[in-house]
Amino acid sequence: MSGTNGINDPSVSASTTTTTTTATQADEHVFLPRGTVLIAGGGPVGLILARVLSYYGVRSVLFERNKTTTSWPKMDLTNGRSMELFRKLGLADDLRRQGVPPHIDQDVLISSGLASKEAITRWELPGVDRFRQRIHEHNDGTQPQEPYQRLSQALFEKWLKAICDQDPLIELHYGNKVESVQETADHVKTTVTNVETGKSTVYVSDYVAGCDGASSRVRKSLGFPLDGGPVPKCVLLVHFKSRDLSRLHVQGQFWHIFFLSDHAEGGFGSTIIAQDEVDTWTTHLFLPLDAEPDKIESHDAVYRALGGLHGPYPIEIDEVLVRSVWRPNIAVTRQWSSAGQRVHVAGDAAHQNIPTGGYGMNMGIGDAFDLGWKLAAVINEQAGRDLLQSYEAERKPVALRNVERSGVHFQLHDRLKDEFIAGGDPHRVDADTEEGRQLRAAIHEYYQQHDGENKDFGIEMGYRYQSPVIVPDREATEPAWTPSQYTPTSWPGGRPPHVFLSDGTAIFDKFGKHWTLLVFADDSQNSTSGQELVAEAAASLSIPLKVVALPGEDLAKRLYEKPLVLIRPDQHVAWRGDQVSSLQEAEKLLNVVTGRVRPDSTAGEGQKAAPSVAFTATQELTTQVEDFKLEKMAAFQM
Ligand SMILES: Cc1cc2nc3c(=O)[nH]c(=O)nc-3n(C[C@H](O)[C@H](O)[C@H](O)COP(=O)(O)OP(=O)(O)OC[C@H]3O[C@@H](n4cnc5c(N)ncnc54)[C@H](O)[C@@H]3O)c2cc1C
């Protein structure tokens, strides 16, 4: 919906104003109702942030420079952690209906080209049905509540926009570009230009979220330095329709194939992505930076990508949908929030990574959830303004670690040539000789030992926040963290374990919309652990809290480690303990976790210093503050 009438004075509360945004006075100044969040950018992160805010009863107005959602095939996997969050919003089942059917497995193949007899090796990745079965069979806290889901970004955005269009708390204004933001003591002024009329309007709001992608104007306005750098390659993407399955599936059905390529002297040189298991595909041809990809015709690019080591492999292409040259890039913004905590950046505006691992949008969804519930809690007066400071402290370390990991995954492919092929004819990898067999066995072993690209649960759901609103456990030792595995623990700051309870219900489904106190005490019906004190304190502080008593749930009790575990709205542990012994103690606890009072220590505040070394897979570390630029970058990266 697009609001078009009325003027709202910022001093008037949202409940007594109309809900629209048209300027009628003050020279193009529009005052959004109190408590409205202005969102710059209608990519996946801006749209999902609008939905998180709406879930918590907060109004948003979103400006997107394009007139429609994207047609670029970027993200194609929503991971298990994001699906858990979508489930909380009530969107997971509907999202799945848009995507690849659940019975289809999603193997990743490593191949020397489709003309070879068979792929060299594969990562066997289950489809949603088999993944779900695995989750049920391993009810030990190591699994996500929800399997991942394949869905191309072009379809994802269209689906999410349609949901936002129907939402009375969300106003979408496509065809409107955010030019700049300016924070003052008690509001933010955002200048927006209508791309058709050229008319500029200044919107005045309490808060702004910059979800405006890699070239974020919001980030630039705030002068946040972006540290990172691109990999020394450019990529020619061709997105196309083809029903030539007999040629495409010659080595079996696949989700992705990574090809050893002639133009890469036998090293990794191209990929294909099956977008929908019907007729939509994307090839990426990785080229040296000095190549001239514009001179490669789209059909030829697809044939070259699929041919690998063996020269072009033609297929029937029904239609080329889009093509572009783009540049894999790794970067993280040094600051995430403005001095007054009224402006925050999220998604690709805050971090960019190489697509290996599928971390980009999934991290952005984590940002949107973290920022969304906190903004809502502050706006709804269920938290103190200091809660917003924890956004950068919590999300920046996740971004630094994940973008680095995307480079580690990328290097696995990029090192193929040096590890196995260099110093001889690359075609020997396919030869029916002892050397060929040994080479293939070695490559197989190499990929089987490094198979974390879409399995690294430590990265995807094992991240633990340290911030002033997380109460540390000073009595125990923090469990070890590894990128590859999620360690079931209720360690404060982490996502607690998913587990099915004795009646088959998932524990996450027992959590409340806002805060949850889990009580594992054996006498939890007549408590001595003090849960009623926490409930009483929450009521007196206007903090919505659901107390969930779980007597007799021995498995969950063991995995959750403590009799009392306080869960935040984003399903992270805020505090755990044996008991609360006074109302005063309960109030102090709730005041700390909602940012109303500062804790004794402020461990984990965001690091403002620049990283001192480049990321894996990037050659040099550069810092950009003004306009974002990369050599050979695509329109969808701007
Ligand atoms: C080939 C490829 C494969 C990928 N695969 C995956 C994957 O499997 N999983 C995954 O999680 N991620 C993946 N990613 C990354 C993912 O696409 C991005 O991380 C994601 O799009 C980020 O979402 P966003 O909303 O933050 O930014 P964007 O998608 O860039 O959206 C930003 C929006 O803001 C708009 N905008 C920009 N400037 C302005 C302005 N001044 N005013 C108003 N609007 C503005 C843009 O038009 C755009 O619509 C992949 C990326 C690529 C390139």
CA 348 to centroid of ligand 1, rounded, Å: 6
Nearest ligand 1 atom to alpha carbon 362: 11
DSSP for 93-116? HHHHHHSS-TT----EEEES-TTS
Considering only CA atoms, which residue is closest to atom 30 of ligand 1? 213
- Amino acid identity for residue 472 in this structure: P
Decide if pLDDT at 12 tops 80. no
For the stretch 444-448, contacts whose Cβ atoms lie closer than 8 Å and that sit 24 or more positions apart, written own/partner, are: 444/120, 444/121, 446/419, 446/420, 447/110, 447/121, 447/123, 447/412, 448/121
Ligand 1 center–CA 385 separation, angstroms: 29
Which DSSP state fits 263? T
Full-model pTM: 0.95
CA of 114 to the centre of ligand 1 (A): 31
Task: Note the pLDDT of residue 523.
Answer: 64
Residue 247 and residue 315 in contact, taking contact as beta carbons nearer than 8 Å:
yes
CB-ligand 1 contact for 45 (6 Å cutoff): yes
Nearest-Å Rg of the Cα atoms of the chain is 25
**Substitution candidate for ligand 1 out of 63, 78, 231, 348 with most atoms within 8 A of CB:** 348
pLDDT, position 23: 42
According to the 3-state scheme, what is the secondary structure of 399-437? HHHHHHHHHHHHHHHHCHHHHHHCCCCHHHHHCCCHHHH
How far does residue 43's CA lie from ligand 1's centre (Å)? 6
Task: Give 213 Cα–ligand 1 centroid separation in angstroms.
Answer: 6
- Does any ligand 1 atom lie closer than 6 A to the CB of residue 256? no
Residue 214 half-sphere exposure, CB side, CA atoms within 13 Å?
24
| Alpha-carbon span 318 to 279, nearest angstrom | 9
Burial annotation 355-394 (CB, 10 A radius, 16+ → b, else e): bbbbbbbbbbbbbbbbbbbbbbbbbeebbbebbbbbbbbb
Regarding the domain delimited by 470-593, which CATH topology (the fold level of the hierarchy) does it fall under? Glutaredoxin (3.40.30)
Return the number of other C-beta atoms located less than 10 Å from residue 250's C-beta.
17
Evaluate if residue 11 carries a pLDDT over 50: no
Mutual angle of helices 531-540 and 583-593, in 10-degree steps: 60
Ligand 1 centroid to 211 CA: how many Å? 9
**Tokens coding 498:** 């998913």
Q: For helices 153-165 and 44-55, give the axis angle rounded to 10 degrees.
A: 30
For the cut 50, the answer to whether the pLDDT of residue 16 exceeds it is: no
Determine which helix (DSSP H) or strand (DSSP E) holds 533, and give its type and residue range.
helix 531-540
Among protein residues, the one with the nearest Cα to ligand 1's atom 14 is 75
Q: Shortest CA distance to 231 belongs to which of 364, 400, 410?
A: 410
Ligand 1 within 6 A of 409 CB? no
In the prediction, which pLDDT does 154 show? 95
What separation in Å is there between the alpha carbon of 159 and the centre of ligand 1?
15
Contacts for 119-123: CB closer than 8 Å, 24+ residues apart: 119/251, 119/252, 119/257, 120/260, 120/429, 120/440, 120/443, 120/444, 121/440, 121/443, 121/444, 121/447, 121/448, 122/252, 122/254, 123/447, 123/451, 123/453, 123/454
Pocket lining: 364 vs ligand 1, CB cutoff 6 Å: yes
Residue 452 burial (C-beta neighbours within 10 Å; 0-12, 13-18, 19+): buried
Regarding the beta carbon of 46 and ligand 1, being less than 6 Å apart is answered yes
Cα 604 to Cα 626: distance, rounded to the nearest angstrom: 28
Answer yes or no: are the C-beta atoms of 618 and 352 closer than 8 Å: no
Candidate of 86, 361, 405 to mutate for ligand 1, largest count of ligand atoms within 8 Å of Cβ: 361
Dump strand ranges (E) for 45-96.
Answer: 60-64, 77-78
Q: What's the CA gap between 519 and 587, in Å, rounded?
A: 18
Angle, helices 360-379/389-414, rounded to nearest 10 degrees: 180
Report percent pLDDT > 70 for the chain. Answer: 94
pLDDT at 18 over 50: no
pLDDT of residue 597: 92
pLDDT at 422: 85
Query: Worst-scoring range by mean pLDDT, 137-151, 216-230, 366-380, 601-615?
Result: 601-615
Tell me the domain boundaries of the chain. Answer: 14-72+153-226+331-395, 470-593
Q: Which of 238, 419, 396 is nearest to 318 (CA)?
A: 238
Query: In this predicted structure, what is the pLDDT of residue 10?
Result: 34
In whole angstroms, what is the distance from residue 515 CA to residue 253 CA? 44
- Alpha-carbon span 496 to 137, nearest angstrom: 19
Supply the pLDDT for residue 526.
55
Reported as a single tens digit per residue, the pLDDT across 288-318 is 999 999 999 999 999 999 999 999 999 999 9
Identical fold, 14-72+153-226+331-395 and 470-593: no
Q: Is 75 in the pocket of ligand 1 (CB under 6 A)?
A: yes
Of 75, 76, 220, which is best to mutate to test ligand 1, by the most ligand atoms within 8 angstroms of its C-beta?
75
In short, whether 219's Cβ falls inside 6 Å of ligand 1 is no
List, in sequence order, the alpha helices (H) in 308-385. Answer: 360-379
Please give the distance, rounded to the nearest whole angstrom, from the Cα atom of residue 74 to the centre of ligand 1: 8
Sign of the torsion angle spanned by Cα atoms 487, 365, 624, 206: negative
pLDDT band at 319; cut points 50, 70, 90: very high
Please tell me the number of Cα atoms within 13 Å of 272 on its side-chain side.
34
Could you please state the CATH topology (level 3) that the domain comprising 14-72+153-226+331-395 is classified under: FAD/NAD(P)-binding domain (3.50.50)
Q: Which atom of ligand 1 is nearest to the CA of 176?
A: 43
99 Cβ below 6 A of ligand 1: no
- For 391-400, how does the pLDDT look when each residue is reduced to its tens digit (9 = 90+)? 999 999 999 9
Nearest atom (ligand 1) to Cα of 235: 1
DSSP H stretches of helix in 207-294:
217-222, 245-248
460 lines ligand 1 (CB under 6 A): no
- 180 Cβ inside 6 Å of ligand 1: no
Q: How many CA atoms lie within 13 A of 226 on its CB side?
A: 30
- Binned at pLDDT 50, 70 and 90, residue 503 comes out as very high
What CA–CA distance (Å, rounded) separates 65 from 46? 12
Is 348's C-beta closer than 6 angstroms to any atom of ligand 1? yes
Residue nearest atom 52 of ligand 1, based on CA coordinates? 74
For ligand 1, atom 53, the nearest C-alpha belongs to 74
Secondary structure letter of residue 280 according to DSSP: E
Cβ(83)–Cβ(460) below 8 Å: no
Question: According to the 3-state scheme, what is the secondary structure of 472-531?
Answer: CCCCCCCCCCCCCCCCCCCCCCECCCCCECCCCCEHHHHCCCCEEEEECCCCHHHCCCCH
Residue identifier of the C-alpha nearest atom 15 of ligand 1 = 360
Please tell me if the CB atom of residue 213 comes closer than 6 angstroms to any atom of ligand 1: yes
Query: Given a cut of 70, is residue 505 above it in pLDDT?
Result: yes
CB of 157 within 6 A of ligand 1: the answer is: no
Region of 88 (left: φ > 0; alpha: ψ -120 to 50; beta: rest) is: alpha
**Quick check: CB of 362 below 6 Å from ligand 1?**
yes
pLDDT digits (tens, 9 = 90+) for 218-236: 999 999 999 999 999 999 9
Alpha helices (runs of H) in 106-177, residue ranges in sequence order: 128-137, 153-165
Q: Which of 633, 607, 636 is nearest to 229 (CA)?
A: 633
Q: How far is the CA of 141 from the centre of ligand 1 (A)?
A: 32
Alpha carbon distance 338, 344 (integer Å): 6
Confidence at 6, pLDDT banded by 50, 70, 90: very low
Dihedral over Cα of 85, 491, 512, 16: its sign = negative
